[in-house]
Structure 1
């Protein structure tokens, strides 16, 4: 799985961090990853440190280790990627039309519901 803006391992780590509630440690992420792949603890530690330096993860000292948490939710990150696509994709109206045209019925219904929530309520009086 590749999440735009992240390297392959960074995307896997961010996916695991986003899936957790609250802060996590390198050990906890390492233990999850080691169940599915051959990986070194120091590789996970370096990756999480890199994500911290890039601003994707915040951290605080907890004993000898750090506890990490994401600085953005997965949804906020996705919204930023969508914003980037609009900014760099040519005419926004055409990009948006192509995007909407490729939506499933469920996604289209979700978009309509989100737009209704965000639209200002008209005064009836």
Structure 2
């Protein structure tokens, strides 16, 4: 299944839904976003509807209440996006990604040692 890329704002909504057990209502999302969030209810509904359109969320309506549940897990989304990133940016080469991180000093010796240990175990 192809998983659509979601925006940063949509990802904020998904983090809330992924952290909950079972279905989440629009009111639950508003509450979890907290008072610091400046999004209006219409913005939240628009973002949730986009996620439904992208088949990332399922929607069940009961009267005027929307119940949302994830169609994919956070791990599935992250894995798909990581693979897509490596394919797009490094022609599918994990080695090129690691070399880029090493050359720009974004990866430490400890990280490399952990990767070597992990590779030996698999």
TM-score, structure 1 as length reference: 0.70
Task: Report matched runs for 1:13-52 at 5 Å.
Answer: 13-52=13-52
Paired with 2:34 and 2:86, the residues of 1 have a C-alpha distance of 38
What are the equivalent positions in structure 2 for 1:7-18 lying under 5 Å apart? 7-18=7-18
Taking the aligned partners of 2:32 and 2:78, their CA distance within structure 1 comes to 24
Mapped to 2, the partners of 1:20 and 1:34 lie a distance apart of: 15
Q: Quick one: distance in 1 between partners of 2:92 and 2:9?
A: 33
1:112 aligns with 2:118: yes
Cα RMSD (Å) of the superposition?
Answer: 3.0
Q: Secondary structure at the match of 1:16?
A: helix
Structure 1 runs (4+) deviating above 4 angstroms are none
Displacement after TM superposition at 1:76 (Å) = 0.7
- How far apart are 1:112 and its partner, in Å? 2.0
Distance 1:64 1:91, change over 3 A: closer
Identify if the C-alpha distance between structure 1 residues 95 and 40 changes in structure 2 by more than 3 Å, giving closer, same or farther: same
Number of residue pairs matched?
Answer: 111
The gaps in structure 2 that reach 5 residues or longer are none
* TM-score using structure 2 length: 0.71
1:84 deviation in Å? 0.7
Greater relative contact order: 1 or 2 (C-alpha under 8 angstroms, separation 6 or more)?
Answer: 2
Q: Which runs of 5+ in 1 are unaligned?
A: 120-125
State the distance in 1 between where 2:21 and 2:100 align: 31
Shift of 1:42: 1.6
CA displacement at 1:77 relative to structure 2: 0.6
Q: Aligned residue for 1:54?
A: 54
